[in-house]
Structure 1
Amino acid sequence: MTRSRTIQPYALWGVNRIWQDFEVVGESNYLPAIRRAWNRTPKSEYNDVRVDLELVPEPDNPYDDRAISVRYQGLIVGYFPKETNLDWWPVVARVAATGLTAAAPGRIWYQKSAGFETGSVRLGLGEPDLSLPLNDPPSQPHNLLPSGNVVQVTKEADHFDVLADYVPPSGAGALYVTLHKEEIVSSRSRRVVAEVRLDGERVGELTKATSEKFLPAIVHNTDRGLATAVRAAIKGSGVAAELTIRAAKAHELDDAALDGPAVRLPSLTPYDPNAQYLVPNTYGQTTTAARARSIREEKQRFGRGTAIGHDAEARTPSTPQVKIQRTLAQPPRSQPAGHSAPPPRSPEPNHAPASPPAAHVARPPLSPRPAPTTPPLVPYGASSHGNAPLPVAKSRKNTKGSGRALGLAAATFFAAFALGILISGLGSPGGGAIVWLLGVPVAIGVGIWGRRAASVSAKENQDPGNGWKGS
């Protein structure tokens, strides 16, 4: 029985939706699912399919307890390469331990030519350390801005005592931070900047020019009673740390980001440096979404009153079962010697008595089939109905014989010519000339002899004579 589990996709951070270069392996084993994604999704300008794919850890996989499957609508389309499981297992396992499923943009390509199917799957992943936030989302109501270009946070060195507690053992990680409008007044100037806070603690600010590009969105969210949250990345060591944010600026936001429902991501299981997460078993299981879609499609095909479940065996419209009886043309097979037929079985309770067997009708004897006759062998060129010879097509061996004779003559002439040159070079010009003169008639004679030999051979092949007879 294939069980299902409820999932909710959680989009990883730092993904690349433009270029997918992470190779997925094992696609040839899951071509039906790839074909399904290809047929049901609009194609891009590059004749491929761009969809969000699910990254599901499989701790109960019998081949690798750190295997990560890639799925489309609950159906497996491939796996992570084994050498990458160590880096990506903590990421997808933390999401799965929360009751969610990690999701990333993918590209699917499929082709069928001459009955042969091929397909490939790629993912647009970022860095594993920057794919999930180390801290929880802000506790106050907030709106998470879409991702954008990387912006450097300034004056974070003045707040290293706060940042030091967030630097992971790997030295890099992702964080939630919030932006706030802050007015800074000094003896010489008065300026308004975007202040950066980490879990309510000030950790830096943006430059004046950069703040002006974020302040309209910060003020707009404040008027809606929401804090402005953005994605950040921390990189550091035991003595220093730097902070950057990745968010869209005010002029890059659309109406949905400004006035739509507030975007807030769910909280994840607390970060564990040792990645000791409690991950549910998922090997050989589908998701609830895929199962619900399958049930819906089956109900549309077989009717709404059809009972469909995990244990349903019938997948075709119900039809009355008809017991096939032997016809008169098919008599019962004869029993071997010494075999006794079983006694007739008495009718069981709640069962109607069996109908009497049909009377046996003997089949009329079949007329004997005439024995096959094999026609006698007939020599080539003779008629099978008499001794009159059949017309024989002109053999091409005559032409081949003429060519061979011409080749022998030419070879003889050139041999004589070469011998004459050799004799002349040895100091006897007269001897060389004599050899040249004699070479011409010798070559002609060789050609005539070869032509006659070819003619005799052709005649023998056409008429083998009485030495060969059929049976």
Structure 2
Amino acid sequence: MDPSFQTDHGNTEPAEPEDEYSGSQPPQFSEVRLRLVPLPDDGRLNVVGESHYQEALAVVAGGRTCGATFDEHIPVVAVLVPEPENPWDENAVRVDVLMGNRSLKVGYLSAGWAEDYQPELLELRAEGALGTCPARVTGGGDKYYGIYLHVARPEELRSGGDPIVAETTATGVLLRNDWSCTVTKEEEHQDVLRAFAPKGKQEYREVVASLGFCTIRGGKYAGGRAIEVRLGGKRVGQLTHAMTTRYGEIVARFAEKNLAVTCEAYTTRTAKGVEVELRMPRDPKRF
């Protein structure tokens, strides 16, 4: 995405009046209780009212001073929270920054944009979710901290959901569960898999798998890498060369950002022992 592209127009009127506060407020954290859904990020949108949240932005930035270029701005994940109950503007959209299992209030969308974005975000909240998007922090030092968002226009939010990621947090991503993907080498890890086997009369057991990389030890592709599958932090198998080719770039991209990559999965009992099947996104090369 071209960082110079902006969806923001000239309206910078804050959703809450400038005279509501006399200076920066103490940091205001909120518990994240809803699912987090990544929004399409092909645009740039300014945030307003940051002068009221300088202490919070300093926490987000870790007290660092940002440079003047895009690459020197601090990348974060923003949460867009619709606030129809806001006494100052019933169309308000609050901007938080995700920090672990909590979010920290850092500003608002301008009144003009909030009116357009809020209906889409309210629909999302009715489904038990909040929208997130990449964002970058600017300033620090002898300048005010600021923040801007990478998010698509309101009319594009519902039609262009992320085809790869179902949920995101500050530390990891959960991939979409469009179709099944077989795991190999489970027979070597039955001691681990037994702890995740279906219980009682269950035909299958739902689990969450984490994905990384391992070295292929034998066969045609020996010495190459495969996507390793773990349950509870312990290895239970790996993907085939074909599936590693399909999903390797996705896993690597998030791993390079120090994000844990997870996916839904389920275990079953078979004549060969306990086996695990992953739920993964559609083939990224066939979108």
Q: Same fold (TM over 0.5)?
A: no
- Identify the TM-score tier after normalising by the shorter chain: 0.3 to 0.5
- Between Structure 1 and Structure 2, the one with more helix by share is 1
TM-score w.r.t. the length of structure 1 is 0.28
- Between Structure 1 and Structure 2, the one with more strand by share is 2
TM-score w.r.t. the length of structure 2 is 0.44
Structure with more relative contact order (C-alpha pairs < 8 Å, separation 6 or more): 2
